[in-house]
């Protein structure tokens, strides 16, 4: 390889390494995007479940208040 300059030998090697790094970067970006999307969906589901839980707790508190009021009115009538 006396006639081929060293720079000419480096071009295919650097090009191959750059191509592999680009492919790895693209796969990593797509994977990160999908993982982030799943994370956001999980947060949304948890927020929805928490809101439903809070609504049920308010309903139960109102029911308890009604029962207490009913018991108080029955005690007063007796």
Give the residue extent of every domain in the chain. 44-78
How do residues 21-75 score in pLDDT, each as one tens digit?
999 999 999 999 999 999 999 999 999 999 999 999 999 999 999 999 998 888 7
Q: Residue 21: what pLDDT? A: 98
In the chain, which ranges are continuous DSSP H helix?
6-77
Per-residue pLDDT at 26: 98
Could you tell me which of 7, 26, 6 has the C-alpha nearest to residue 18? 26
**So what's the pLDDT on residue 78?**
63
The structure's pTM equals 0.60
Q: Which two tokens stand for residue 24?
A: 């790895």
Which residue has better confidence, 2 or 12?
Answer: 12
């Amino acid at each position: 390889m006396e006639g081929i300059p060293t720079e000419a030998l480096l071009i295919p090697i650097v090009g191959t390494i750059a191509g592999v790094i680009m492919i790895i970067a693209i796969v990593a970006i797509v994977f990160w995007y999908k993982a982030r999307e799943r994370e956001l969906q999980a947060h949304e589901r948890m927020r929805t479940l928490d809101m439903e839980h809070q609504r049920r707790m308010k309903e139960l508190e109102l029911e308890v208040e009604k029962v207490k009021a009913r018991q108080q009115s029955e005690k007063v009538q007796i």
